[in-house]
């Protein structure tokens, strides 16, 4: 779930369920076609009086297909039985030939009431219900069974398709092609506009499918869809799908053709001169698209006719027959744009999908046809992870996110990187990514080999621009690009604009809806390599300029992606003081800090002769992070180092108070009540006479007492903090109930506002909710209001954490729908927007459990299954948590 969330996730689930039901139905119809010989069927009809109708010499079998996420109740089939009664009457009155029999196919077991009706014979004798695992006998024994889900349906159909004598065609390709034909027939599309498949015509239809698909390059044995990948069937007659070599264009087309309800043909333009393209295409396509009619083929391939004329005749024939045909032309960037335009101009029935690399004549083809290319976006993080694990690698969600960014998710590039990780780094994706980022990998990736050629074809100014832009993994506004390239390369705006136009046409930079310009992820590694070979002052100027741009942007908008880049640039530019100053702020830990920043801090505290104050605050930041993440085993040596610095006498009172707070919390984690109370007394005696210091102290003391299970004392302290902070902000608790964030902001946005107080209030409200849970007292709004204030403060990590706790609270009250709404509307969008991949994993596992509690069993099982590739890269505790959640889902669903 790393793509942009929908506005209404619940609607998305409903839509998925509807389409899943239709797909199940189409697969059942395809299974009837595949078993028509055993059944003795003469025709299969779809979407007329019933979902499926099987015509036999003896009469007609009416089949209704229903999919549900729970056991089947009498109400689910009541309307179906009424319709069966009407159809039976049609046959009994002689208005329809032969005997009528009826079948209801369902994907779930029958509920108790319906079981009782079946066992006591309350259903008519000519009505049968098929459910997964039921025994079929008598007249119905040869019909396909009911399946529990789509995977089971596909497996059954593929098994039957393997018996069809089409050795050149993979059974799964045949199944999906038949399902596509069924879908088209259900919509009344030619060649089955009457919704009917005549079984006598089935061999010729299968032959035509074979002819069309055998020339497509075979798709991968396990095809993984790309993110938001385009559909092959479209209302547009001509389309361009573009991507670098290795992006998976041909595999996409081959896989999509397998599922398409249209007639499809493939032609590789490589090596075909432009003037010969039309006639070569017609010769390849005539038999494939016109069928086996020799007269039609002769009319199309008239002696002496030019290629364009023959193509026009083929188009006329297809139009006359009402046939929907798609031609996939591969490598069109290698032929003249005029040749492509001539073929488009003389046709109207043929639809073209043009596959191209962002090279050669592609820009001219776009201009002549007035089209914009459609990209392939690469695999999503889940599919990158699944593929990498399948190739013997491992990594957590954040690491797999790095692999996707490094390779742009392009299938060939992912495979190459995973192979290197397996062979050179014992399957550790993180180590491989570190090596590539540091330019220390000894084995060149396929990505580097392919894109080095693309890079080498650019003029020097474009190469240098790519090198500088490789420093940023986020989009930059045009004005920011101008400032960056002016500082690094002394380029003026006109030169920058010209270079960006060239790079955009080549697919190397992308421009997003908000006008941000971003270097394509795949070529960033090539740019980094080139930057390392440029004069060091260029890279230095670029990093400093980019860092300053991040500061300016962050003052306008607290964007986590920009903050992450900023912290990395602080390290890269050696601005340790600013970084250490930031670490002392709690908000620093809310914004998703890059792992290399923590590595940099570790290096700082290990460095001899480093500034004591910087070293102290680096340790303080690491301790805060360790406490937050539960790395309690790391605390003692860090606190000892901090105490040594305190005892040196060179630090001030702020450092002393910070140390005493951290040590008090450490004592509480160890269950050392005397140590905690001693720390409380010492802190109380040393606090400055300032209300804000008193509130911070009370909150931390309450947190320590909570860990010691002194809940009454903790509640008394935290309620003081809440009351005092509300007073400081100038609002009352009742004003928060039902208020939107904008209205709350209007109430508190006054001169002298300390923004840190907003987060402090949220922290205190969260702690109150935790204490209330332990005391078994009600604090119904504590977490809800904490989320509001965390959101206003921009405390992203805490917002997610409390949202998850609130969802658990709702589950505890058996308000499963409320828990789902919390996650869908308030937690998951924040996780996705801020690209917090490891948090995303945790949230999605929780979401899967909530879906199961809501009765959406299939959706829950699919969601938890998508997380399995991350297991090997998780810590032992995280693996156990994920395994427990999977077991819980299995228990709920069964």
Q: Are 370 and 386 part of one and the same domain?
A: no
| Tokens describing residue 494 | 């006109």
What's the mean pLDDT in 135-150?
87
159 and 295 co-located in one domain: no
Domain assignment present for residue 548? The answer is no
Do 158 and 224 reside in the same domain of the chain? no
362, 264: one domain: yes
pLDDT at 751: 87
* Joined tokens for residue 708: 């010691």
660 assigned to some structural domain: no
Q: What is the pLDDT of residues 505-515, one digit of tens each?
A: 888 998 876 68
Contact 428, 421 (CB under 8 A): yes
In a domain, 20, yes or no: yes
**Could you count the other beta carbons within 10 Å of the beta carbon of residue 419?**
18
- Mean pLDDT, rounded, for 819-834: 92
**What would the pLDDT profile of 439-487 be if each residue is shown by its tens digit?**
888 888 899 999 998 999 999 999 999 999 999 988 999 999 999 999 9
Half-sphere exposure at residue 78, Cβ-oriented, CA atoms within 13 angstroms: 5
Phi then psi dihedrals of residue 46, to 5 deg: -120, 140
Report which of 446, 439, 622 is spatially closest to residue 531, judged by C-alpha positions.
Answer: 439
Q: What is the dihedral of CA 796, 802, 803, 808, to 10 degrees?
A: 160
User: Considering the chain, what percentage of its residues have pLDDT values greater than 90?
Assistant: 57
Band (69; pLDDT cuts 50, 70, 90): confident
Q: Does 318 share its domain with 407?
A: no
Q: Which of 302-316, 562-576, 768-782, 870-884 has the lowest mean pLDDT?
A: 302-316
Q: Does residue 116 lie in a domain region?
A: yes
Residues 117 and 224 in one domain: no
DSSP string, 596-653: HHHHHHHHHHHSTT--HHHHHHHHHHHHHHHHHHT-GGGHHHHHHHHHHHHHTT-S-H
Judgement on whether residues 128 and 239 belong to the same structural domain of the protein: no
Among candidate residues 144, 162, 197, the one where a domain is terminated: 197
15 plus 86 within the same structural domain: yes
Model confidence at 592, pLDDT cuts 50, 70, 90, reads: low
DSSP per residue over 787-832, as a string? HHHHHHHT-HHHHHHHHHHHHHHHHHTT-HHHHHHHIIIIIHHHHH
Provide the number of structural domains found in the chain.
4
Model confidence pLDDT, tens digit, residues 714-745: 999 999 999 999 999 999 999 999 899 899 99
Last residue of a domain, one of 423, 443, 463: 443
pLDDT above 90: residue 534: yes
Res 291 pLDDT > 80: no
* In a shared domain, residues 300 and 399: no
Strands (E), 107-198: 127-130, 196-198
For residue 250, is it within any domain?
yes
Q: What is residue 168's predicted lDDT score, i.e. its pLDDT?
A: 53
Does pLDDT of 288 surpass 70?
no
pLDDT, the chain, mean: 89
Taking the whole predicted model, whether its pTM rises above 0.95 is answered as no
600 lies in some domain: no
From the list 525, 531, 508, 585, the residue with the least C-alpha distance to 554 is 585
Q: Name the residue with tokens 């920009």.
A: 562
Query: Residue 340 above 80 pLDDT?
Result: yes
- Is the same domain home to 267 and 355? yes
For position 223, which CATH number holds? 3.40.50.300
746 domain residue, yes or no: no
Is the four-CA dihedral 657, 662, 668, 671 of positive or negative sign?
A: negative
pLDDT band per the 50, 70, 90 thresholds, residue 167: very low
Which of 443, 467, 484 is a domain's end point?
A: 443
Task: For 765-791, write each residue's pLDDT tens digit.
Answer: 999 999 999 999 999 899 999 999 999
CATH of the domain at 815: 1.25.40
Q: Which of 291, 294, 288, 269 minimizes the C-alpha distance to 280?
A: 269
Most confidently modeled range among 167-181, 533-547, 605-619: 533-547
Residues 185 and 231 in one domain: no
**Cis peptide, bond prior to residue 191, ω within 30 of zero:** yes
List the single range of 310-314, 320-324, 358-362, 770-774 with lowest mean pLDDT.
320-324
Q: Which two tokens stand for residue 677?
A: 């109370």
Asked if 707 contacts 668 with a C-beta cutoff of 8 angstroms, the reply is: yes
Same domain, 189 and 273: no
Rounded Cα distance, 30 and 232, in Å: 21
Residue 368 lies in a domain: yes
In 3D space, the residue among 416, 335, 372 whose CA is nearest the CA of residue 230 turns out to be: 372
Domain range for residue 80?
10-197
Long-range contacts made by residues 171-178, C-beta under 8 angstroms, separation at least 24? 172/258, 173/213, 173/258, 174/206, 174/209, 175/27, 175/30, 175/34, 176/258, 176/259, 177/209, 177/213, 177/258, 177/259, 177/260, 178/30, 178/33, 178/34, 178/209
Residue spans of alpha helices (H) in 648-740: 653-669, 673-686, 691-707, 711-729, 733-736
β-pairing verdict for 43-46 and 52-56? antiparallel
């Amino acid at each position: 779930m790393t793509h942009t969330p929908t506005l209404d996730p619940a609607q998305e689930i409903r839509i998925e369920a509807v389409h899943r039901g239709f797909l199940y139905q189409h697969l059942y119809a395809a299974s009837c076609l595949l078993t028509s010989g055993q059944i003795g069927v003469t025709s299969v009809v779809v979407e007329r009086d019933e979902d499926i109708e099987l015509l036999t010499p003896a009469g007609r079998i009416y089949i209704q297909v229903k999919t549900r996420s729970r056991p089947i109740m009498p109400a689910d089939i009541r309307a179906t039985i009424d319709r069966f009664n009407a159809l039976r009457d049609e046959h009994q009155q002689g208005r329809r030939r032969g005997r009528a029999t009826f079948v209801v196919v369902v994907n779930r077991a029958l509920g108790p009431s319906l079981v009782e009706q079946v066992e006591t014979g309350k259903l008519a004798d000519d009505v049968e219900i098929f459910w997964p695992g039921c025994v079929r006998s008598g007249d119905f024994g040869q019909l396909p069974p009911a399946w529990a889900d789509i995977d089971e349906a596909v497996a059954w159909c593929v098994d039957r398709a393997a018996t069809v004598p089409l050795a050149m065609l993979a059974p799964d390709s045949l199944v999906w092609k038949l399902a596509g034909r069924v879908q088209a027939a259900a919509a009344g599309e030619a060649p089955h506009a009457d919704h009917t498949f005549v079984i006598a015509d089935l061999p010729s239809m299968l032959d035509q499918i074979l002819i069309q698909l055998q020339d497509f390059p075979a798709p991968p044995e396990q095809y993984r869809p790309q993110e938001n990948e385009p559909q092959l069937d479209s209302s547009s007659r001509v389309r361009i799908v573009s991507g670098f070599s290795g992006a998976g264009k041909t595999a996409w087309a081959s896989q999509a053709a397998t599922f398409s309800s249209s007639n499809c043909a493939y032609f590789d333009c490589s090596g075909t001169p432009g003037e010969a393209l039309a006639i070569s295409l017609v010769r390849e396509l005539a038999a494939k698209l016109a069928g086996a009619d020799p007269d039609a083929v002769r009319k199309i391939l008239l002696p002496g006719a030019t290629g364009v004329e023959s193509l026009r005749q083929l188009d006329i024939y297809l139009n006359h027959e009402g046939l929907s045909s798609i031609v996939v032309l591969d490598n069109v960037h290698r032929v003249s744009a005029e040749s492509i335009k001539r073929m488009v101009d003389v046709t109207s029935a043929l639809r073209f999908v043009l596959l191209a690399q962002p090279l050669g004549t592609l820009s001219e083809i776009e201009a002549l046809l007035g089209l914009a290319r459609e990209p392939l976006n690469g695999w999503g993080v889940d599919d990158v992870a699944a593929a990498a694990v399948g190739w013997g690698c491992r990594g957590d969600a954040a690491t797999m996110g790095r692999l996707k960014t490094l390779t742009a998710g392009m299938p060939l590039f992912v495979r190459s990187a995973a192979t290197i990780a397996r062979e050179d780094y014992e399957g550790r994706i993180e180590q491989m990514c570190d090596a590539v980022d540091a330019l220390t990998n000894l084995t060149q990736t396929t990505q580097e080999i392919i894109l080095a050629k693309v890079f080498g074809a650019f003029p020097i100014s474009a190469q240098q621009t790519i090198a500088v832009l490789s420093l940023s993994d986020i989009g930059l506004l045009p004005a920011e690009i101008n400032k960056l390239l002016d500082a690094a390369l002394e380029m003026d705006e006109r030169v920058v604009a010209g270079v960006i136009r060239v790079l955009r046409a080549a697919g190397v930079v992308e421009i997003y809806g908000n006008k941000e310009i971003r270097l394509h992820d795949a070529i960033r590694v090539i740019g980094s390599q080139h930057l390392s070979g440029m004069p060091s002052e260029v890279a230095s100027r670029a990093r400093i300029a980019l860092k300053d741009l991040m500061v300016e942007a962050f003052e306008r908008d607290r964007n986590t992606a920009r903050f992450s880049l900023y912290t990395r640039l602080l390290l890269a530019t050696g601005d340790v003081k600013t970084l250490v100053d930031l670490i002392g702020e709690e908000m620093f830990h809310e914004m998703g800090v890059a792992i290399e920043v923590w590595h940099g801090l570790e290096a700082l505290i290990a460095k001899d002769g480093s500034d004591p104050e910087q070293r102290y605050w680096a340790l303080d930041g690491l301790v805060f992070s360790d406490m937050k993440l539960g790395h309690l085993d790391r605390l003692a040596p860090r606190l000892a180092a901090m105490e040594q610095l305190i005892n040196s006498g060179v630090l001030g009172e702020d450092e002393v108070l910070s140390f005493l707070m951290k040590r008090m919390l450490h004592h509480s984690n160890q269950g050392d009540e005397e140590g905690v109370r001693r720390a409380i007394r010492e802190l109380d005696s040393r606090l400055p006479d300032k209300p804000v210091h008193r509130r911070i102290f009370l909150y931390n003391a309450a947190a320590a007492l909570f860990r010691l299970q002194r809940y009454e004392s903790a509640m008394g302290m935290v309620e003081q903090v809440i009351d005092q902070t509300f007073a400081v902000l100038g609002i009352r608790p009742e004003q928060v109930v039902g208020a939107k964030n904008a209205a709350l902001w209007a109430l508190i946005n006054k001169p002298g506002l300390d923004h840190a107080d907003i987060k402090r209030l949220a922290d205190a409200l969260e702690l109150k909710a935790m204490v209330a849970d332990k005391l078994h007292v009600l604090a119904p709004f504590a977490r809800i209001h904490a989320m509001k204030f965390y959101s206003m403060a921009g405390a992203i990590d805490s917002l997610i954490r409390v949202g998850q706790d609130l969802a658990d609270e709702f589950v505890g009250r058996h308000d499963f729908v409320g828990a789902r709404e919390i996650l869908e509307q308030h937690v998951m969008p924040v996780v996705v927007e801020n690209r917090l991949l490891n948090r995303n994993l945790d949230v999605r596992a929780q979401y899967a459990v909530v879906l199961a509690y809501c009765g959406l069993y299939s959706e829950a099982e699919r969601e938890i299954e998508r997380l399995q590739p991350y297991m090997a890269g998780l810590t032992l505790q995280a693996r156990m948590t994920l395994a427990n959640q999977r077991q819980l889902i299995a228990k709920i669903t069964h």
